[in-house]
């Protein structure tokens, strides 16, 4: 270690040490001279004898310098200086190479960041790989289970060493202390063993235990996340024992969870954990699914055995909780429910279910972009190497070893990659933030664009990998020069172009084909999605959700809605206001089983329909055309006569042959064949795709909002002539105690619902264009280089009477061959790739002929255009000049 | 670090030992004096390129066996003086033993009588 420091010091004091050595040698020579003179030699003789005796001065100095300092470092520094000089001399090449690499590396960094967060990063808990979630499928609410089912699973200590349950994180009203300003937080109900099973320790105070969740109703405790403790309380330990208010309920803070632990759902970060027994739900109900079950599997239990054990457990549970006395349709659906064992080490995520496949596709796409960029740079380097043949040959003849030259070439590549990586990280961070902007509100927040260490490590690995990819072959190729031949030959010597460069161009074209096909497919897919009739025209209608004081819920929540709607109606610029459940593209769904007297469909057994609750002018406000009859008016709201509006899907399903379904009726009393109490259908509306563009409309029955029980959180819909944002200030203070929960145009909700497709189409479009550009540059380069080497030959041909057109064709024919091979290979690869992404396409087949034809034409056109420029230049050469040049 | 050091050259090794032994018996000495002394001990039988002493001294200094400082020579001129360190003395002993053992082995080979 000491030696190392000494050597570093020597490196710094290089010049002074050189002088000292000179002094030492001079002293030595002088002493020798004096010695020889004292033996009677003349001055000149003594000098010569001293030099003889001393030996080679230069060699001694050279050996001395080599032994000093850190030779490898000095050599590297020399290589870096040499490479920098070379790069500065050709700014065009440097810019092209760095830009290519920056785009390639940047694209990889940008996609890898969310990829890592969603698909690779393990939860910061003890042994995350042992965690599984029991995912409920086949029922009404995907992923969520009832409390009794959780208790059944928790009994199985033979399978699990611990089973916890959590409600999803929910946005709720919160006060940091009693009397503080109300704001929103993410609250999560958890079982008492939550932290113990996960192996999360407290940063402060204590966490929940099983004793905290023995019986429903209490205790009023809260555990804060470390982030909440820091952001809301400035990490003040006095928070322990203090009171916070969640949905107006005072809770005592007993502890703060370990730093870094942000719950077990990737895209949501709860700030407050509350004992599950504080939830106001029916703990006995086996049909309300509100819990996600996560369990720690005993290491000795194989997954396969686990799944079959869980299957048996689930079957027994369903048989026991759904007696045969139940409605047959309901029971049938209930018994179809399953519990799937899924890995939970990466955390739970609803985002992952939709986004994993698009992310994987994008990861492959950016991999291709990187390969393309590397091929591009390799091509540039090869061209540069060819142009430097004489220099290389000269350096060989002067005694440089091949190793040294390869090392120098690789140093240059490394510098290019370093510059590319530096710009690439910048581009990547920006790119990630662009991607996150596509994600629905809040979901993207935890997937921060700030580069994580793992992401930076990935970028570094990608950069090093790319150096090996683009740098090694050119370094070896351009140093494989026969010194004598290299010096003798003119610019390149070879008439054609090396096989390696042609292969690279073919590969570039093939990769671009794949990327362009993907862009075409995703672009068309998005176009198809956008063309779907959503059933309402006014996408600029603002959808607003409010949160109300708790006591309002005990009264009829619909009263304040009516008052708010009237208040908003009076505001300037507001055209119409309505409200209902669930608003278009809003969460929530209620279903019911009905009979339609006279319909064959419900003759044998009742059928299930979706339910909606709407206020007057609902369909007018969102712009849904009325097909028949009328929508609700004020009289319907207070009238004792039960009325309903149905959609076209309803008519198709139940009254297909009826000319006037608006004069028929339906019944919610499904026990009687011909229906009990009747509900009059007063109107038929166009199908509204409430639940997403890709969901086919289901038969739906809308009831007047004031009739019957309330279904859930209503959405207020405001159609305004002013910009939507102008509404915001008046909404904030609309009524005391009322908090604005969410606000946005329906268009935004629609956009959010197809964010994957928008992201895929946008990014793949960008990559497609980029790929075409890179391929064009590659082809241009190789043609330009090839024709430059054939200047003499072309001159002779023209002098001998070849027409320009013939020469042009001769050069283009060559490029056409490259483009054709690349196209053929690329189209084959594209078919496989398109097949792989088939499941995330909408309205377009993976083998969509239009996309493939368009891609082939785009590639052929780009290729020919890129080749045409240098080909024309070559063909318009002056034969005399060309021959003189030779 | 440097690959040169890890490749002991037989000649290089002997020069290092000569320098160490000489410095060990003489006390601080400049490069010229050291060269003279080595020539003298060898009885002029050694064809020493005196310039090669300096890289050797640098090598020994890097290993901590020799230290150097600037001083004034007998004829009042600035010169760099080299001196053996404690580690250098230990190294001298080790290398001397190695050398003696090597010589012993070589002797046995040289003494081999032709087998009947």
Q: What is the pLDDT of residues A333-354, one digit of tens each?
A: 778 888 888 888 888 888 888 8
Report how far residue A347's alpha carbon sits from residue A128's, in angstroms, rounded to the nearest whole number: 9
- What are A221's strand-pairing partners? A252
- C-alpha distances in angstroms, A616 versus A638, A701, A703, A719, A762? 12, 15, 10, 14, 39
Please list the helix, strand and coil fractions of chain B in percent, rounded to the nearest 5, in that order: 55, 15, 30
What pLDDT, on a 0 to 100 scale, did the predictor assign at position A755?
A: 86
Query: Rounded CA gap, A273 and A863, in Å?
Result: 60
**Do residue A3 and residue B35 have CB atoms under 8 angstroms apart?**
no
Q: What is the pTM of this model?
A: 0.76
Residues sharing a CB contact under 8 Å with residue A481, sequence separation 6 or more, in sequence order: A389, A392, A393, A396
pLDDT at position A792 = 77
**pLDDT at residue B15 tops 90:** no
| Residue B48 distance to chain A (closest CA, Å) | 8
Contact, A851 vs A524, CB < 8 A? Answer: yes
Domain membership flag for residue B116: no
pLDDT score of A190? 92
Asked whether residue B23 is domain-assigned, the answer is: yes
Q: Is residue A20 less than 8 Å (CB to CB) from chain B?
A: yes
Q: State the Cα–Cα distance between residues A561 and A715, nearest whole angstrom.
A: 9
Question: Rounded to 5 degrees, what angle do the CA atoms A545, A549, A550 make?
Answer: 110
Cα A42 from Cα A40, distance rounded (Å): 7
Neighbours of A678 (CB within 10 A): 17
Closest-CA residue of B relative to A17 is B58
Residue A486: the pLDDT is 61
Tokens of A24: 């030492």
Contact between chains at B62 and A66 (C-beta distance less than 8 A): no
Centre a 10 Å sphere on the Cβ of residue A200 and count the other Cβ atoms it contains: 21
Residue B115 included in any domain? no
* Element spanning A544, H or E: strand A542-547
Tokens, residue A551: 């006591």
Contact at 8 Å (CB) between A413 and A470? yes
Per-residue pLDDT tens digits for A132-168: 998 888 876 678 888 888 988 888 888 888 899 998 8
User: Which domain does B106 fall in, by range?
Assistant: 10-110
- Of residues A322 and A260, which shows the higher confidence score? A260
Give the total number of structural domains in chain B: 1
Distance CA A351, CA A443 (A): 8
Given a cut of 90, whether residue A824 has pLDDT beyond it is yes
Q: B106 at the A interface (CB within 8 A)? A: no
Per-residue pLDDT tens for A745-793? 888 888 888 888 898 999 999 999 988 988 888 888 878 877 777 777 8
Overall average pLDDT of the A630-657 stretch: 84
* Ramachandran sector of residue A626 (left: φ over 0; alpha: ψ -120 to 50; beta: rest): beta
Q: Has residue B2 got a pLDDT over 50?
A: no
- CATH code, domain with B69: 1.10.10.10
Domain contains B96: yes
- Contact between A6 and B62 using a beta-carbon 8 Å cutoff: yes
Residues in B closer than 8 angstroms to A31, CB to CB, are 32
pLDDT score of A69: 66
Query: Residue B60: its pLDDT value, please?
Result: 86
Kindly determine whether residue A64 and residue B58, on different chains, have CB atoms separated by under 8 Å.
Answer: yes
Tell me: pLDDT of A372 over 80.
yes
Region A373-380: what's the mean pLDDT? 87
Q: Is A56 on the interface with B (CB under 8 A)?
A: yes
**Average pLDDT of A37-63?**
83
Distance of alpha carbon A728 from the chain centroid: 31
Decide if pLDDT at A68 tops 80. no
ipTM > 0.85 for the complex: no
Provide the greatest CA pair distance for chain A.
141
Cβ of residue A26 closer than 8 Å to a chain B Cβ: no
- With pLDDT > 90 as the criterion, what percentage of chain A qualifies? 11
Point out the residue among B49, B55, B80 whose CB comes nearest to the CB of A67: B55
The answer to whether the CB atoms of A28 and B50 lie below 8 A apart is: yes
Whether B80 and chain A come into contact, CB under 8 Å, resolves to yes
Chain-chain contact of B80 with A24 (C-beta, under 8 angstroms): yes
Q: Reply yes or no on whether the pLDDT at A533 is more than 50.
A: yes
Q: Which region holds residue A877: left if phi is over 0, alpha if psi is between -120 and 50, else beta?
A: beta
Percentages of chain A per state (helix, strand, coil), in multiples of 5 = 55, 15, 30
pLDDT-wise least confident of A492-496, A598-602, A726-730: A492-496
Q: Report pLDDT digits (tens) over B20-63.
A: 888 888 888 888 888 888 888 877 777 777 888 888 888 888 88
| Sequence-separated (6 or more) residues with CB below 8 Å from residue A779 | A505, A508, A509, A815, A818, A819, A863, A866, A867
Does residue B5 form part of some domain?
A: no
For A:65-94, CB contacts with B below 8 A are 66-68, 70-72
Paired with A274 in beta bridges are A189
What is the structure's pLDDT at A444? 61
Assess if residue B104 is contained within a domain.
Answer: yes
**Interchain pair B64, A2: CB under 8 A:** yes
In a domain, B55, yes or no: yes
Name the closest residue on chain A to residue B65, using Cα atoms.
A3
Quickly state the pLDDT bin for A492 (edges 50, 70, 90): very low
Residues with Cβ < 8 Å from A9, sequence gap 6 or more? Answer: none
- Reported as a pLDDT band with limits 50, 70 and 90, residue B9 is very low
Residue A510's pLDDT is what?
A: 92
Q: Alpha-carbon distance A419 to A594, whole Å?
A: 67
Is residue B11 over pLDDT 70?
A: no
Mean pLDDT score of chain B:
80
Average pLDDT in the A532-552 region? 82
Please give the average per-residue pLDDT across A254-259, as a whole number: 90
Arithmetic mean of pLDDT, A482-486 = 64
Ramachandran area for residue A69 (φ above 0: left; ψ -120 to 50: alpha; else beta): left
Structural contact between residues A749 and A443, judged by C-beta atoms closer than 8 angstroms: no
Mutate to test the interface with A, among B2, B51, B56 (most CBs of A within 10 A): B51
pLDDT, average across residues B11-19: 76
Question: What is residue A495's predicted lDDT score, i.e. its pLDDT?
Answer: 36
Would you call A20 and B80 a contact, using CB atoms and an 8 Å cutoff? yes
Half-sphere exposure at residue B22, Cβ-oriented, CA atoms within 13 angstroms: 23
């Amino acid at each position: 270690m000491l030696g190392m420091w000494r050597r570093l010091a020597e490196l710094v004091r290089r010049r002074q040490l050189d002088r000292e050595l000179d002094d030492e040698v001079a002293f030595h020579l002088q002493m020798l001279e004096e010695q020889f003179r004292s033996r009677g030699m003349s001055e000149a003789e003594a000098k010569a004898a001293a030099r003889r005796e001393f030996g080679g001065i230069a060699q001694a100095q050279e050996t001395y310098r080599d032994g000093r300092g850190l030779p490898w470092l000095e050599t590297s520094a020399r290589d870096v200086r040499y490479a920098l000089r070379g790069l500065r001399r050709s700014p065009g090449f440097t810019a092209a190479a760095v830009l290519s690499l920056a785009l390639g590396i940047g694209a990889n960094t940008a996609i890898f960041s969310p990829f890592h967060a969603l698909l690779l990063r393990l939860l910061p808990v003890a042994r995350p790989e042992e965690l599984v979630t029991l995912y409920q499928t086949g029922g009404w609410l995907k992923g969520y289970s009832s409390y009794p089912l959780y208790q059944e699973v928790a009994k199985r200590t033979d399978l699990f060493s611990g089973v916890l349950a959590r409600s999803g994180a929910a946005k709720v009203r919160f006060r940091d202390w009693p009397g503080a300003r109300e704001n929103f937080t993410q609250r999560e109900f958890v079982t008492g063993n939550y932290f113990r099973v996960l192996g999360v320790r407290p940063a402060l105070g204590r966490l929940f235990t099983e004793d905290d969740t023995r019986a429903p109703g209490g205790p009023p405790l809260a555990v804060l996340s470390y982030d909440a403790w820091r952001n809301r309380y400035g990490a003040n330990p006095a928070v322990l024992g203090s009171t916070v208010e969640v949905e107006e309920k005072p809770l005592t803070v007993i502890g703060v969870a370990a730093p870094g632990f942000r719950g077990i759902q990737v895209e949501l970060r709860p700030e407050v954990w509350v004992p599950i027994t504080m939830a106001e739900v029916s703990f006995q109900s086996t049909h309300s699914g509100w819990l996600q079950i996560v369990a720690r599997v005993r290491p000795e239990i194989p997954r396969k055995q686990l799944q079959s054990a869980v299957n048996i457990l689930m079957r027994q549970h369903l048989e026991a909780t759904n007696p045969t006395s139940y409605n047959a349709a309901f029971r049938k659906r209930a018994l179809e429910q399953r519990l799937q064992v899924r890995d939970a080490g990466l955390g739970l995520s609803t985002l992952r279910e939709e986004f994993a496949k698009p992310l994987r596709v994008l990861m492959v796409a950016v991999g291709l972009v990187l390969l393309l960029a590397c091929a591009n740079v390799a091509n540039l380097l090869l061209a540069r190497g060819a142009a430097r043949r004489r220099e290389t040959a000269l350096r060989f003849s002067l005694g440089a070893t091949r190793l040294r030259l390869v090392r120098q070439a690789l140093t240059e590549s490394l510098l290019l990659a370093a510059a590319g990586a530096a710009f690439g990280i910048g581009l990547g961070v920006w790119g990630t933030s662009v991607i996150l902007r596509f994600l629905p509100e809040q979901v993207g927040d935890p997937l921060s664009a700030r580069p994580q260490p793992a992401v930076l490590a990935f970028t570094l690995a990608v950069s090093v990998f790319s150096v090996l990819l683009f740098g090694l072959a050119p370094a070896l190729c351009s140093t494989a020069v026969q010194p004598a031949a290299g010096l003798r030959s003119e610019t390149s010597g070879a008439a054609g172009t090396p096989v390696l460069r042609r292969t690279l161009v073919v590969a570039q074209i093939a990769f671009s084909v794949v990327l362009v096909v993907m862009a075409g497919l995703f672009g068309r897919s998005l176009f198809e999605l956008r063309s779907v009739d959503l059933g309402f025209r006014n996408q600029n209608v603002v959808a607003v959700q409010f949160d109300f004081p708790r006591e309002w819920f005990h009264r009829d929540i619909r009263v304040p809605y009516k008052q708010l709607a009237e208040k908003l109606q009076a505001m300037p610029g507001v055209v119409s206001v309505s409200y209902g459940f669930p608003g278009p593209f809003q969460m929530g769904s209620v279903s019911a089983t009905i009979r339609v007297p006279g319909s064959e469909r419900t003759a044998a057994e009742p059928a299930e329909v979706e339910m909606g609750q709407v206020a007057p002018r609902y369909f007018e406000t969102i712009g849904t055309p009325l097909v028949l009859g009328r929508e609700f008016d004020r009289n319907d709201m207070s009238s004792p006569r039960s009325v309903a509006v149905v959609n076209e899907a309803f008519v198709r399903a139940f009254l297909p042959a009826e000319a006037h379904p608006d004069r028929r009726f339906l019944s919610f009393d499904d026990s009687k064949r011909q229906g009990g109490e009747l509900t009059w259908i007063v109107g038929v509306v166009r199908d509204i795709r409430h639940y997403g563009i890709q969901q086919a409309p289901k038969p739906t029955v809308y009831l007047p909002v004031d009739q019957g029980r309330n279904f859930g959180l209503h959405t207020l819909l405001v159609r305004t002539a002013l910009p939507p944002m102008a509404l915001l200030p008046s909404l904030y203070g609309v009524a005391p105690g009322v908090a604005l929960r969410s606000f946005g145009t329906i268009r935004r909700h629609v956009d959010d619902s197809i964010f994957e497709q928008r992201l895929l189409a946008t990014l793949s479009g960008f990559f497609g264009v980029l790929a075409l550009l890179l391929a064009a540059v590659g082809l241009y380069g190789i043609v330009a280089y090839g024709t430059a080497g054939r200047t003499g030959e072309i001159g002779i041909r023209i002098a001998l009477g070849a027409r320009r057109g013939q020469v042009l064709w001769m050069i283009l024919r060559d490029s056409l061959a490259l483009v054709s091979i690349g196209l053929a290979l690329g189209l084959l690869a594209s078919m496989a790739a398109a097949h792989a992404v088939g499941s995330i396409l909408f309205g377009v087949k993976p083998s969509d002929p239009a996309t493939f034809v368009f891609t082939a034409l785009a590639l052929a056109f780009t290729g020919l255009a890129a080749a045409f420029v240098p080909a024309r230049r070559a063909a318009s050469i002056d034969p005399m000049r060309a021959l003189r040049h030779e | 670090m440097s690959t040169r050091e890890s490749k002991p050259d037989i000649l290089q090794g002997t020069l290092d030992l000569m320098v160490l032994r000489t410095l060990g018996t003489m006390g601080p000495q400049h490069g010229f004096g050291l060269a003279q002394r080595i020539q003298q001990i060898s009885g002029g039988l050694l064809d020493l390129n005196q310039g090669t002493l300096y890289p050797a001294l640098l090598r020994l200094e890097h290993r901590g066996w020799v230290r150097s400082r600037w001083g004034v020579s007998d004829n009042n001129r600035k010169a760099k003086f080299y001196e053996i360190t404690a580690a250098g003395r230990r190294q001298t002993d080790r290398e001397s033993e190695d050398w003696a053992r090597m010589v012993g082995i070589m002797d046995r080979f040289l003494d081999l009588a032709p087998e009947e």
